[in-house]
Structures are given as structure tokens and as C-alpha cells.
Amino acid sequence: NLELICSLLLLHQHSPFLFHRHFNKLESLQSNDRVRKTVQCLMLKYPHFGRLYSRARNISLYSWHELQDTLAKHSMTSSRGVGFNNMGNTCYFNSLIQALWLSVPFQMDVIFNRVDSSILSELRRVFLNLSYSVRESFSPDTLFHVVRPPWFSFGSQQDSAELLRHMFHLISSGSGTSSAQPSNPLSEGLAGGRDLGSLESSKYRQYYSSNKDISTESQPSQIITKHFQGVQEVTIVCDTCGTASSKEEPFLFLSLPCDKGPTKLENLITSCLATEQLTQENQYHCENCATKSDATRKTTLNKMPDTFIFTINRFSYDKELKCRSKLLTKVEVPAVLQFTAERGSTFKLASHGESTTTSDTTSHRTYQLYSTVVHSGSSTESGHYYTYGVPSTYSTPSVLSQCFCFNDSRVSLVTQDLVNSPTTSSDTPYLLFYQRVPCEPPLLDLEVGQLSEILSANVKWLQQNVSLPDAGYSKSQQPPDDNDDGDSKKEFYARGCHGNEFAAGSSRFIF
């Protein structure tokens, strides 16, 4: 009975082996809608077997939302996914790791990469648990301690963008600890952000400038540059003599300055790449004139990354009040971004009404939003981070209204656009992850041994929890928008995680 077989397979979500044992037979029966949907559901559930699934991938997919609903209805647990326990104001870390896990090409590279690095090894372990564990949540404490910047105080809220930069530096350098850094950390990841206020952090600058033992001879892992690095060219033309000076600069994400009025992400990108006049105190020192002169600066995108990350610069210093403040500017986030080629290999954001195509070509680059890290709160000294998103290979234009919400230990399914229409104005998108489309996962199969520990833990967890009355339901029946820092549902959107109340100013945001 195919109906019974499909139901049993969908109940057996704690291990992929039963599904894989019968995969060839099921693949030959996919003319049956029930079988086809079951196969697609379990391919989504167990994604790291590309070679085995290669033929079935040609079959039209159901929507991600529909597949998730089917998996949830047959699951022995009520959780929509695996969350992270908050280990003491670590939501900035939790939300970022969840977003990186949703970055499927990067996730696959981490899982299949055999580079001997404690960071990649621990990240691999966390990614596999997020993919295959049946627990509702766990504590990624080892990874947290490996990637935590040394100037981040324990128990205090921090900036997820600063953590992202630090993690990328550690991985790119091939470092196994937090002590080794790439040779030029102050320039990477800051492309496009003309307000380099992040570098005013004395601890941040002191740390990197004091690391003289940075090795430039070792071969760093290419995993970060492969997925996230783009190249911009900055050209400055002296208004006095007309001499032009150009320099290519790699970037890992673009920092977009934000104004006070409502705007769109496209406007921030256009403004970031717009021609800028360098006058008065910003005059350019022209070597040809041997003096400071007015000049024109233009930034262009010469190489587009496969995964495009944007940070919206919401944290500024109020000179009148002499304190840091957060800009609550409403920024409309599109599900799709398109760039068009101009003057050969240079790309610009496609303007409204410009003829574009939904496919990726030599003259167009199309990016699909798949994850958004949101900062909730009106203060730079406290707040809460959480993430919306779907795996990047399943992202569609409806991603904003059909996605997961990762809120520390609780994972829920969102069916409305809470990025552009949040419950409160203090919930603002901060980190935006866009994947170049089409995005195809590699045709590789995970080694059985890599899952043995997780699958054994799954059986043990189910034996201890699912058979008990209401087991597996207690947390999930709480409001999914609560967080793990003790706030009530009413207070969550306004406060969330807190900084260290006993150490004033210890919670830092660099943007």
C-alpha cells in the first residue's frame, strides 16, 4: 500500500536511512502524486545526498511551505526546526549562525570541506545538528567560544555584524583559534560603507593592529571568498588637474548608511554607489598637484559575489546628546534584486522599469532574498536578534511571507511579511542575505559515519521524550515570539535581550 509506506517514511524523520534504502523504488513510482510529494519532502529533510537525488531533482518541486507543512503533520515532535538555547545574551550569535546555515552553498562547503580547522570542524558539527537532530534546541557553546572575539564580554549583548566580520576573518585565515587574523582585516567587509565609524572602536583597532604574528605565507581556506567575496573599484578624479586614481578592493558585505526618512533597500544601494564630491574637510590629496583638492569619487561593482550580504547601518553617534542611538528608519526590503552590466564587466543596480530578466545571464545578475537578521529594540545598549529565512536553494519571491522564524530555541513558521510590516517599529532588518540564482547544490553524498552520533542521539531523545505525556510540546506551545531571556511576550518586541546591566556601556554595536 503506497499510502501506508509514504506515511511510515514521513513518520521516520529521525534518520534518512529507511528513506534511502527504498529511494530507487520510490523514484520509479513518482508518477503517483503521493509518492512524489513524499520523496520531495524527505529530500528537503535530508539535503546532503545530492548524488543519490540527482535524477529526482529534475521533477518539479512543490512549494517549500507545502513541503514543510507535510513534514510537520507527520513529525513525532511539534518543533518546526532546531533552535539554539540562549547562553546569556547570545541571540546575536544564534541569529547569525542560523542565517549562515540557511546559506546552502556555504553550508554544503562547510560540511564537505575536510580542512583541518577547529572553527570549520565545529561549524560542521553545528550545521549537521541543525539539519538532522530531532531536538527542539541545543547549546552551540563550543562554537560560540571558538568564534567569540576576545573583546566581546561574556553575558552582554553584542553586534551580529561585527561577529560576522570576525568569523569570516578567522575562517579565511585558516585559524583554529581566535588569535590569528588575516593580513588586512580593517579593509575587508567594509566596502561601500563611507561611514567607517566601526573603526573608532579602540579595542577593535588595538586588537588587530597588535597581532603581528599574522601569517601571510599560509594558504587560507577559500571557502569565504568563494561564496561571499565581491570586488569593487574606487576611482577618484582630481577636479583641478583631472588625474584619475583607481583601486580595486575586495568586499565580503556592503555596509549601507541609513538616513532618517522611510526608504527602500534599492535606494540605499544606489546611494552607496553614487558619485560623491570630496570637498572642504573631505578634500582629496592629489599626488600630481601635491596638495589637497576637490575631487570626485565613484564606486563601481566589478565582480559580483554569489551570496550578497548587506548590513543596514542603523547605529550612529548623536553629537548633541553625546550618546549612541539607533535609527528606526523603515527600509523596504525586496525579495529580488537585479543588477545589470554596464561598460563591460561593471554592474549597477537595475533601475525601476528597466528591462531585466528573471534568469542569470552575462548582462544580468539576479539575487533572491533568503534570510534576514532582525534587531528588535530602540537602544544600542540592549535589544534582541532573531532571524527570518528559508534554505537559499528553496527561496522564492514569496520568501518574506513564507519562511522560518528562528528565535533562539524556538522555531516557528511565518505566513506574513514581518520584515516589511513588523509588529513594532523597533523591529528593523539589519543583515540581509541574497543568493545569486539559479542556485544548485553540489552532487555529493554525506558519509554515513558523520551522522552516527546525531542519529543515535535522536533515538535516545525520542525514547525519553515522545512517549511521555505532552512530551515535545511544552516549549512549542509557548508563543513562538518569546525569547530565552525571561521577557514576557508583551515586552519581547520592545526589549528582548539586554546588555550587561552591571557594566555600563559594555554592549556594543559598531554600526
In tens, the pLDDT along 36-75 reads 999 999 999 999 998 888 877 666 668 888 999 999 888 8
pLDDT above 90: residue 200: no
Instruction: Give the chain's mean pLDDT.
Output: 79
Cα–Cα distances in angstroms (integers) from residue 408 to residues 83, 433, 497, in the given order: 6, 19, 11
Q: What is the pLDDT of residue 256?
A: 92
Who has greater pLDDT, 505 or 69? Answer: 69
Cα–Cα distances in angstroms (integers) from residue 310 to residues 131, 248, 254, 432, 470, in the given order: 25, 19, 5, 5, 42
pLDDT-derived band at 447 (thresholds 50, 70, 90) equals confident
Q: What is the pLDDT of residue 261?
A: 81
> Over the stretch 93-117, which tens digit does the pLDDT of each residue have?
999 999 999 999 999 999 988 776 7
Q: What is the pLDDT of residue 448?
A: 78
Instruction: List Cβ neighbours of 421 (8 Å cut-off, separation of 6 or more).
Output: none
Helix (H, G, I), strand (E, B) or coil at 145: helix
- Pairing of the two strands 331-332 and 263-264: parallel
pLDDT above 80: residue 363: no
With beta carbons less than 8 A apart as the criterion, state whether 136 and 472 touch: yes
d(CA 209, CA 490): 44
Q: What is the pLDDT of residue 106?
A: 93
pLDDT-derived band at 84 (thresholds 50, 70, 90) equals very high
pLDDT-derived band at 322 (thresholds 50, 70, 90) equals confident
What sign results for the dihedral spanned by CA atoms 499, 504, 508, 511? positive
> Over the stretch 371-397, which tens digit does the pLDDT of each residue have?
999 999 888 777 899 999 999 988 888
Matching residue, cell 573603526: 199
Q: Which amino acid is at 120?
A: L
What is the percent of the chain where pLDDT is above 70? 77
